[in-house]
Amino acid sequence: MCGIAGYIGPRNAVEVVFDQLKRLEYRGYDSAGVAFPVNGHIEVLKRAGKLTELQKLIGEEPRDSRIAIAHSRWATHGGPTNENAHPHYDAYERIAIIHNGIIENYLELREELLAKGHKFRSQTDTEVAAHVIGEEYAGGISLEEAVRKGVKRLRGAYALVVLSQSEEGKIVAARNASPLVLGVGSGENLLASDIPALLPYTREVVILEEDSIATLTTAGIQVMDLDGRPKPLEPIHIEWDIAAAERGGYEHFMLKEIHEQPEVLRQCIAGRVDDKLEIRLDQVFSEHVWTEIDRVNIIACGTAYNAGLMGKHLFEKLLRLPTDVYYSSEFRYGDPVLSPRSLAIFVSQSGETADTLAALRLCKSRRIRTLGIVNVIGSSIARECDRTIFTQAGPEISVASTKAYTAQVTVLTLLAMYIAQVQEMPGVRVEEAVQELVGLAERAEVCLKLEDQMIGLAEKYKDMPLCFFLGRGADANVALEGALKLKEIAYIPTEESPAGEMKHGPLALVQPGVIAMFGSTDREVRDKVVSSMKEIQARGGTVIAIVTDDDTVTEKAADEIVRIPGSKLEFLSALLTIIPMQLFAYHVARLRGCEIDQPRNLAKSVTVE
Ligand code: F6R
> 235 and 255: one domain?
no
How do 212-216 and 171-176 pair as beta strands?
antiparallel
State how far the Cα of 181 lies from the Cα of 191, in Å rounded to an integer. Answer: 6
Q: 410: Cβ below 6 Å to ligand 1? A: no
* Residue 300 Cα: closest atom of ligand 1: 16
Average pLDDT over residues 294-312: 97
Q: For residues 267 and 394, is the Cβ–Cβ distance under 8 A?
A: yes
Give the pLDDT score at 372.
97
Q: Is the confidence at residue 21, as pLDDT, over 80? A: yes
pLDDT in tens, 130-169: 999 999 999 999 999 999 999 999 998 889 999 999 998 9
Q: 251, 186 in Cβ contact below 8 A?
A: no
Q: Quote the percentage of the chain above a pLDDT of 70.
A: 99
Tell me what pLDDT residue 603 has. Answer: 78
Residues 117 and 99 in one domain: yes
Range of the domain at 374: 247-438
Helices 440-448 and 578-591: crossing angle in degrees, nearest 10, is 30
* SS3 assignment, position 319: helix
Q: Are residues 543 and 476 in the same domain?
A: yes
Q: Please state the atom number of ligand 1 nearest to the C-alpha of residue 400.
A: 7
User: Is 301 close to ligand 1, i.e. is its CB under 6 Å away?
Assistant: yes
Say whether pLDDT at 262 is over 70: yes
pLDDT value at 243 more than 80: no
For residues 321 and 300, membership in a common domain is answered with: yes
- Which among 335, 340, 342, 386 is positioned nearest to 362, based on CA atoms? 335
Same domain for 196 and 275?
Answer: no
CA separation for the pair 481, 494 (Å, rounded) = 11
Judge whether residue 26 has pLDDT over 80: no
Cα 565 from Cα 382, distance rounded (Å): 34
Q: Residue 560 and residue 20: Cα distance in Å, rounded?
A: 47
Span from the CA of 345 to the centroid of ligand 1 (angstroms)? 16
Of 233, 103, 255, residue with least CA distance to 178: 103
Nearest one of 299, 265, 305, 313 to 372, comparing CA atoms:
299
Q: What is the DSSP letter of 503?
A: G
Looking at the structure, do residues 240 and 264 belong to the same domain, yes or no? Answer: no
Q: Which of 231, 364, 462, 604 is catalytic?
A: 604
CB atoms within 10 A of CB 181: 22
Q: Specify if 400 maps to a domain.
A: yes
- 232/252 same-domain check: no
Q: Is residue 606 scored above 90 in pLDDT?
A: no
pLDDT band at 558, cuts 50/70/90?
very high
Burial group, residue 239, by CB count within 10 angstroms (0-12, 13-18, 19+):
exposed
Q: Output 315 or 238, whichever has higher pLDDT.
A: 315
| Residue 609 within a domain | no
Query: Catalytic: which of 2, 268, 363, 447?
Result: 2
Average pLDDT over residues 215-235: 95
From 438, 461, 491, give the residue that closes a domain. Answer: 438
Is any atom of ligand 1 closer than 6 Å to the C-beta of 353? Answer: yes
Q: Are residues 397 and 499 in the same domain?
A: no
Sheet arrangement for strand 494-498: 494-498, 467-471, 515-520, 542-548, 560-564
For residue 598, pLDDT over 90 is answered with no
| Residue 447 forms part of a structural domain | no
Sign of CA dihedral 263, 267, 268, 269: positive
Are 229 and 334 in the same domain? no
The distance from CA 285 to its chain's CA centroid, rounded to whole angstroms, is 23
CB atoms within 10 A of CB 346: 29
**303 CA to centre of ligand 1 in angstroms:** 5
Residue 302 alpha carbon, nearest atom of ligand 1: 9
Does any domain span residue 606?
Answer: no
Quickly count: other Cβ atoms within 10 Å of residue 280's Cβ. Answer: 15
Angle between helices 106-115 and 125-137 (to 10 degrees): 50
pLDDT at 354: 87
pLDDT exceeds 90 at position 563: yes
User: Does pLDDT of 127 surpass 90?
Assistant: yes
pLDDT tens track for 445-463: 999 999 999 999 999 999 9
Which of the residue ranges 237-246, 280-289, 512-521 has the most confident prediction, judged by mean pLDDT? 512-521
Give me the percent of the chain exceeding a pLDDT of 90.
77
For the stretch 430-445, pLDDT in tens is 889 999 999 999 999 9
Q: Is 502 a domain residue?
A: yes
Sequential DSSP letters for 310-365:
HHHHHHHHHH---EEEEEHHHHHHS-----TTEEEEEEESSS--HHHHHHHHHHHH
In the three-class reduction of DSSP (H, G, I as helix; E, B as strand; rest coil), residue 522 is classed as coil
Residue 197 is part of a domain; what is its CATH number?
Answer: 3.60.20.10
Domain count, the chain: 3
- The answer to the question of residue 553 being in a domain is yes
User: Same structural domain for residues 461 and 595?
Assistant: yes
Out of 225, 244, 263, pick the residue that ends a domain.
244
Q: Which helix (H) or strand (E) holds 584?
A: helix 578-591
Q: Are 465 and 537 found together in one domain?
A: yes
Q: How confident is the model at residue 532 (pLDDT cuts 50, 70, 90)?
A: very high
For 162-216, the pLDDT digits (tens) are 999 999 899 999 998 777 999 999 999 999 998 889 999 999 999 898 899 999 9
Distance, CA of 446 to CA of 443 (rounded, Å): 5
Is residue 337 domain-shared with residue 466, that is, in the same domain?
Answer: no
Catalytic annotation present for 50: no
How does DSSP classify residue 357? H
To test the pocket of ligand 1, the residue of 299, 306, 346, 349 to mutate (highest count of ligand atoms within 8 Å of its CB) is 349
Residue 125 lies in a domain: yes
| Residue 513 CA: distances (Å) to CA of 18, 488, 493, 496, 509 | 54, 20, 13, 17, 11
Q: What is the pLDDT of residue 608?
A: 66
Give the residue from 396, 414, 438 where a domain finishes: 438
CA distance 114 to 109: 8
> Which ranges constitute the DSSP H helices of 116-181?
125-137, 143-152
**pTM (whole model) above 0.85:** no
pLDDT band at 291 (very low <50, low <70, confident <90, very high): confident
Angle at 389 (CA atoms; ends 446, 130), nearest 5 degrees: 85
Indicate whether 361 belongs to any domain.
yes
What distance in angstroms lies between residue 570's CA and the mean position of ligand 1's atoms?
26
Ligand 1 centroid, distance to 539 Cα (angstroms): 35
User: From the CB of 350, is ligand 1 less than 6 Å away?
Assistant: yes
Q: Is 385 a catalytic residue?
A: no
Q: How far is the CA of 151 from the centre of ligand 1 (A)?
A: 38
Lowest mean pLDDT among 20-24, 291-295, 378-382: 378-382
DSSP β-ladder status, 467-471 and 387-390: unpaired
CA distance 564 to 428: 25
pLDDT value of residue 416: 95
562: which strand partners? Answer: 546
Taking residue 179's Cβ as centre, other Cβ atoms within 10 Å add up to 19
Alpha-carbon span 431 to 578, nearest angstrom? 25
Domain with residue 553: its CATH number is: 3.40.50.10490
Among protein residues, the one whose CA lies closest to atom 10 of ligand 1: 303
Listed residue (287, 297, 292, 322) closest to 421, CA to CA: 287
DSSP string, 27-68: G--SEEEEEEEETTEEEEEEEES-HHHHHHHHTTS----SEE
Task: Give residue-wise pLDDT tens across range 63-93.
Answer: 989 999 999 998 877 888 999 999 999 999 9
